[in-house]
Amino acid sequence: MTCDILLTGIGLLSPLGGKESFFRALGEGAEAPWRTAGNASLPPGGLTELLGIKSPGLQIARYLDPLAKNAIVALEEAMGDAGIGPQAVAQDPYGFGILLAATRGPGATRDKAYEQLRARQGKLLSSTLFSNFGYNIAAATAAMAHGIKGPNLTVAGRSNLSLLLLRRARQLLATGRCHTVFTGFSESLVNGRAARPVSEWSCIFCLERAERARQRGARAGVVLTEIELESPGLARPRPCAPAFRLPRAIPQPLPLAALAAAETLDLDLGDPLGIGPEYLPLLQAGRIKATECLQGEKTGYIVLPVSSRHGLSLFGVARA
Amino acid sequence: MGDTLERGVCLPRVLVAGLGSVSALGENTAQLWDGLLAGRTGIKPVANFRQEHLRNVLAGEIRLSAAQREYAERYRLDSRIALFARLAIDEALRDAGWTRAYLQKKKVGLVLGTSLGMSLVEKSIDQLDECGGEQVDTYDDFADLVEELADAYRVSSEALIVTTACAAGTNAIGIAKDMIRHEGYEVVLCGGVDTLDRMKYLGHSALNTLTPTLIRPFTPERDGTLFGEGAGILVLERESLARELPTHVACAGAGYSCDAHHITGPDPSGAGAVKVMGQALEDAGIQPQDVDHINLHGSGTPLNDGMEYAAIRELFGPAAERIPVSSIKPAIGHVMGAAGALEAVATVLSLRDQKVPPTLNVVAPDPELPLNLVCGEARVAAIEHALSNSFGFGGCNGALVFSRVSADQRTDL
B20-58 pLDDT per residue, tens:
999 999 999 999 999 999 999 999 999 999 999 999 999
**Does the pLDDT at position A263 exceed 70?**
no
Per the DSSP assignment, residues forming a β-bridge with A12 are: A203
Taking residues B312-330, report their average pLDDT.
97
Residues 67..96 of B with a Cβ closer than 8 Å to A: which?
A: none
Using CA atoms, how far apart are residues B118 and B98, in angstroms rounded to an integer? Answer: 29
Q: Residue range B268-281: average pLDDT?
A: 97
pLDDT band at A134 (very low <50, low <70, confident <90, very high): very high
Q: How is chain A split among helix, strand and coil, in percent rounded to 5? A: 35, 20, 45
Q: Is B182 considered catalytic here?
A: no
Q: What confidence score (pLDDT) does residue B240 get?
A: 86
Is A225 a residue whose pLDDT tops 80? no
pLDDT at B158: 87
Counting Cβ atoms within 10 Å, is residue A136 exposed (0-12), middle (13-18) or buried (19+)? buried
**Structural contact between residues A32 and A199, judged by C-beta atoms closer than 8 angstroms:** yes
Residue in A187, A131, A193 with CA at minimum distance from that of residue A162? A187
**Percent of all residues in chain B with a pLDDT value above 70, rounded to a whole number:** 94
Reported as a single tens digit per residue, the pLDDT across B169-215 is: 999 999 999 999 988 899 999 999 999 999 999 999 999 999 999 99
Three-state DSSP state, A121 = coil
Is the pLDDT confidence value at A245 over 60? no
Asked if A134 has any chain B CB less than 8 Å from its own CB, the reply is yes
Q: Which of B293, B334, B375, B385 is catalytic?
A: B334
E strand or H helix at A81, and its extent?
A: helix A66-82
- The count of other CB atoms within 10 Å of the CB of residue A305 is 21
Average pLDDT, chain A: 69
Give the rounded distance of the alpha carbon of B53 from its chain centre. 29
| Mutual angle of helices B66-74 and B80-96, in 10-degree steps | 100
Work out how many CB contacts closer than 8 A connect A with B: 200
Give the Cα separation of A124 and A73 in Å (integer): 32
Q: Indicate the residue type of B244.
A: E
Distance, in angstroms, between B201 CA and closest chain A CA?
10
Give the pLDDT confidence score for residue B384 in this predicted structure: 97
Residue from A253, A170, A204, A195 nearest A101 by CA: A204
Q: Give the CA angle between residues B341, A111, A116 to the nearest 5°.
A: 110
Q: What is the DSSP string of A225-237?
A: EEEEE--TTTPPP
- pLDDT tens digits for B109-127? 999 999 998 888 888 888 7
Q: Are A151 and B258 in contact (CB under 8 A)?
A: yes
Chain A residues within 8 A of B141 when measuring between CB atoms: 103-104, 272
Task: Tell me A305's DSSP state.
Answer: E
The whole-number pLDDT of residue B326 equals 98
Residue with more model confidence, B183 or A254? B183
* Burial grade of A296 (CB within 10 A; 0-12, 13-18, 19 or more): exposed
Nearest CA to CA, how far is B288 from chain A (Å)?
19
d(CA A220, CA B378): 56
In this prediction, residues B72-86 reach a mean pLDDT of: 94
Q: Which of residues 363-392 of B touch A (CB under 8 A)?
A: 392
Q: Is B204 a catalytic residue?
A: no
Residue in B with minimal Cα distance to A135 = B163
| B215 vs A28 pLDDT, higher one | B215
Tens of pLDDT, residue by residue over B387-403, are 999 999 999 999 999 99
| Predicted local distance difference test score (pLDDT) of residue A159 | 63
- B244 at A interface, C-beta within 8 A: no
CA separation for the pair B310, B58 (Å, rounded): 29
> When comparing pLDDT for B175 and B106, which is higher?
B175
**Is a pLDDT exceeding 70 seen at residue A296?**
no
CB spacing of B202 vs A98 below 8 angstroms: no
Half-sphere exposure of A100 (CA within 13 A, CB side): 33
- pLDDT value of residue A269: 31
Give the pLDDT confidence score for residue B410 in this predicted structure: 57
| pLDDT per position as a tens digit, A298-312 | 333 333 433 333 333
Reading phi first (left if > 0) and then psi (alpha if -120 to 50, else beta), residue B381 is in beta
- Whether A158 sits inside 8 A of B150 (CB atoms) is yes
Q: Pick the residue with more confidence: A66 or B326?
A: B326
CB–CB of A168 and B120 under 8 A?
Answer: no
Minimal C-alpha gap between B131 and chain A (Å): 7
pLDDT category at A258 given cuts 50, 70, 90 is: very low
Q: What is the mean pLDDT of residues A175-189?
A: 89
- Per cent of chain A over pLDDT 90 is 28
- The verdict on whether B297 is a catalytic residue reads yes
Q: Is the per-residue pLDDT at A282 higher than 70?
A: no
B92-106 burial code (b ≥16 CB/10 A, e <16): bbebbebeeeebeeb
Q: Residue type at B115?
A: S
Closest residue by Cα to residue B163 from B131, B108, B119: B119
pLDDT at residue B11, as a whole number: 73
Q: Which residues in chain A have their CB less than 8 angstroms from residue B263's CB?
A: 61, 131-132, 137, 140-141, 144
Length of chain A: 320
Q: Does B159 touch chain A (CB under 8 A)?
A: yes
Grade residue B313 by pLDDT with cuts at 50, 70 and 90. very high
- Spatial CA neighbour of B152 closest among B82, B94, B98: B82
- Per the DSSP assignment, residues forming a β-bridge with B401 are B253, B387
In this structure, how many other beta carbons lie within 10 angstroms of the beta carbon of residue B361? 22
| Cross-chain residue pair A134–B393, CB shorter than 8 Å | yes
pLDDT for the residue B366 = 97
Is the per-residue pLDDT at A230 higher than 50?
Answer: no
Which residues does residue A171 pair with via DSSP β-bridges, in sequence order? none
Q: Any chain A CB within 8 A of the CB of B160? A: yes
The pTM of the full predicted model, rounded to 2 decimals, is 0.88
Residues of chain A found within 8 Å of residue B153, distances taken between Cβ atoms: none
Higher per-residue pLDDT: B109 or A229 = B109
Angle at B370 (CA atoms; ends B365, B373), nearest 5 degrees: 55
Q: Report cis status (omega within 30 of 0) of the bond before A44.
A: no
Q: What is the rounded distance in angstroms from the CA atom of residue A4 to the CA atom of residue A155?
A: 23
The predicted model gives B403-409 an average pLDDT of: 81
Residue in chain A lying closest to B166 (CA): A134
**Average confidence (pLDDT) over A55-77:** 92
- Which of A5, A75, A135 to mutate against chain B (most B CBs within 10 Å)? A135
Question: What is the pLDDT, as a whole number, of residue A139?
Answer: 97
